[in-house]
Amino acid sequence: MSETILLKDNFPLISKVNSHKAQKKAFKGVVYDRMDDGYGNPILRKVGENTVVLGGAITALERLTGKVANFEVRTINNELNIQSEYDTTESRNLAATICLFGVGINGASNTYGDINATDIKNANVDGGLTPIRYNNSITTDAGKYFMKKEISGKNAYFLKRFAEDPTIRSFWKDTNNTEITSDVYDSTSETGIETFAEFSINMNIYDVREYFEEMPGQSVANARFNCLALFTGYYDNSLNEYTNVRLFSYINFNNRPLDIAATSSFVYRIYSLS
């Protein structure tokens, strides 16, 4: 079995973040680039820490308590006018899970290190979502794209499912970062523990780049993304679409250019104990 190598002294992909909107976070979230060391071992290089927004914090508490909040945070369905008639359906809101990811292009300027501050009040990423695919006939990762909306004669898909189901993992905070695989109630160890949900995000060579290549008025020379976000939602089999979709968390970072076709792989962790 390959061993994951975690680079703690990470390359400064985020060198400066404007922090005038800083606030204590509801959950700790960390995003990593996932690479290979050439010997089959995955390497995780830290990109930065995410921001769980108000809608994400409320959704988490609704799931834990089985009760809905006294107001509803605006959905992506409402913003894009996609199956928004279900926004107030209590059973769907209470059944929503973190199930999709999306990207944006307004998280940073063209100057390296000039990264926009995140805002816990946001109901969407800065400037709105950028379509992750823009095509009427998808073969690569078919069936993983949602929030479909026709724009200029083609289908734009704004969100994508994860590469695999999320996992919940716990580790001792020891020198070996030992994973916990059974209950520890009777352990005498005084070592700290961390627990997180881990989401696997894979972007193929068409993701995002296709939009810049095919959308009228765009140019592949400008293809990029600089924001990564997680979304909660409820999947409706009869619609083959997600309803009650809300922003859970997002992170802004320096531009990732896509003028040359490339794949990207991320690990997105949400900590409940750290």
Q: Give the model confidence (pLDDT) of 111-144 as tens digits.
A: 999 999 999 999 999 999 999 999 999 999 999 9
pTM: 0.89
Q: Is the dihedral of CA 54, 63, 183, 31 positive or negative?
A: negative
Calculate mean pLDDT across residues 183-206: 93
The whole-angstrom separation of Cα 101 and Cα 247 is 9
Output the pLDDT for position 16: 44
Taking all residues of the chain, what is their mean pLDDT, rounded to a whole number? Answer: 90
The whole-angstrom separation of Cα 211 and Cα 131 is 6
**pLDDT(5) > 60:** no
Q: Which of 231, 245, 256 is nearest to 105 (CA)?
A: 256
Output the pLDDT for position 39: 85
**pLDDT(27) > 90:** no
Calculate mean pLDDT across residues 220-246: 96
Output the pLDDT for position 190: 87
Q: Structural domain boundaries of the chain?
A: 5-273
**pLDDT(28) > 90:** no
Confidence of residue 23 (pLDDT cuts 50, 70, 90): low
**pLDDT(46) > 50:** yes
Lowest mean pLDDT among 3-17, 20-34, 112-126: 3-17
